[in-house]
Amino acid sequence: MRATSHNRAAVMNDVARLAGVSHQTVSRVLNDHPSVSPATRERVLEAVRQLNYRPNAMARGLAGRRSRVVGVVSFDTILYGPASTLLGIEHAARTAGYGVSIVTLERVDHAGMVSALNALADQSVAGVVVIAPQTAAAAALHNMPLGMAAVAVESAVGGGVPAISVDQVTGARMAVRHLLELGHEKVWHLSGPRDWLETHGRIEGWRTTLEEAGLAAPPLMTGDWSARSGYAAGLELASRDDVTAVFAGNDQMALGLMRAFHERGIRVPDDVSIVGFDDIPEAEFLSPPLTTIRQDFDEVGRRCIAALLRVIEADLPEGPDRPSPDPRVAPTLIVRASTAPPRAGR
């Protein structure tokens, strides 16, 4: 065992890393818990000596019981989906009797994610929920601090980290199937940014449903989740005479599409039908009210916390045997007035 140099006072997670155990095991050793083997106890105590680790007074006060704080890593965004996911997690954690400590990233990249996880580990949180809808954030979860209980949201990270998400593929299939059942023979798709995992699920659902119907997918259009990008795509689509149905990757882009079509004299849904994704609170008040795919973010939050508690309590003999929650939350098609059968002649 060899200590590394530190420019700051050692924390419990440093001891755990050096000793090759979880931070819960370090806590048990420091509190003389009988469930730790003599060999493990000696390894932890040797790491404590090498790092000159000194628990602070608050840590001593909390050592006799599990932390009741859950860490959440999110990112700086006003997008409806991630913001609603964060609220759902907060509500579920507080309902379960846990406080919440949130670290917000200005940039979602590997270095920022690792720094956020280490900061929460230093707070000795019971576990961490990571909202990781982008590929860079998901990749960072393969380097979790040793022994940290974690659950990811809207991510398929693998590596033993449970992930909870809305079934994006099924949601997209619902949207496209609805348009096909109305009689549309070509469904265009305006996707979100390619570095978002949700984007890939919605593209897959769109393409698969068209293929199953024996229809060719028209060229994919890419936006950035904003109404402005939807507006730009709408102006491009308005110049074509073969557009009768568009599946937008989110409701904001659908709003931009509707504005562009209105400016070009194209009526929704008489000339073009539009389906969005998310069911933002304003969707039912648009003109016309927007058909969309609803995501149940409260249910995502409940399942995230349930999955996290299952991981946290896995090594506690007094912990209840919690069932593993279904990792896929079912979406719902909300039919409103922005979709209709295609008009003859367009």
Mean pLDDT, range 59-72, rounded to an integer? 64
Q: Is the dihedral of CA 162, 166, 167, 169 positive or negative?
A: negative
Structure tokens at 7: 């420019």
- Residues contacting 240, CB < 8 A, separation 6+: none
Burial class (CB in 10 A: 0-12, 13-18, 19+), 262: middle
**pLDDT tens column, 219-253:** 999 999 999 999 999 999 999 999 999 999 999 99
- Residue 150 dihedral angles phi and psi, to the nearest 5°: -150, 150
Residue 63 has a CB neighbour count (10 Å cut-off) of 18
CA distance 239 to 262: 13
pLDDT level of residue 317 (50, 70, 90 thresholds): very low
For the chain, how big is the Rg over CA atoms in Å?
24
Helix or strand holding residue 193 (H, E): none
Q: What is the value of pTM for the model shown?
A: 0.78
Model confidence at 159: pLDDT above 90: no
Cβ 274 vs Cβ 258: under 8 Å: yes
Mean pLDDT, range 171-200, rounded to an integer? 96
Mean pLDDT of all residues belonging to the chain: 85
Polymer length in residues for the chain = 346
Question: Which one has a higher pLDDT value, 288 or 34?
Answer: 288
- C-alpha separations of 192 from 43, 149, 239, 290, 333 in Å: 49, 31, 22, 18, 19
Residue where the block lists tokens 């019981």: 65
Helix (H, G, I), strand (E, B) or coil at 128: strand
Beta strand 150-153 pairing with 99-105: unpaired
- C-alpha separations of 106 from 82, 111, 114, 156 in Å: 14, 12, 13, 22
Model confidence at 124: pLDDT above 90: no
Helix or strand holding residue 207 (H, E): helix 197-212
CA distance 254 to 241: 19
